[in-house]
Amino acid sequence: MSRKNKIPKFKNEEEERIFWAEKDSTEFIDWKKSEKVIFPNLKPTPKTISLRLPEFILEQLKLIAHKRDVPYQSLIKIFLKDRIDEELISLAK
């Protein structure tokens, strides 16, 4: 079994990100000994964007959201995710 390099201490996430982008993790970690871990409470990091919609579309979204008792921004995310999944399935065929 080969000896692995020691992972250095990082000042911040950016420094760590740069390090791992340039290094082969197998020089530091024995992946054969790794175990699968699930982080059930992690949420994707949201990215704020600006989206211009015709007013009538926004009003329709708000109406549907109200009937479903969800915030309209959440409804937009649901609709986008559903459509993206459909497109990806279509592209995979």
Q: What is the DSSP letter of 12?
A: S
Q: Across residues 24-46, what is the average pLDDT?
A: 89
Task: Measure the CA–CA gap between 26 and 62, rounded to whole angstroms.
Answer: 50
pLDDT confidence of residue 38: 87
pLDDT in tens, 44-84: 888 999 999 999 999 999 999 999 999 999 999 999 999 99
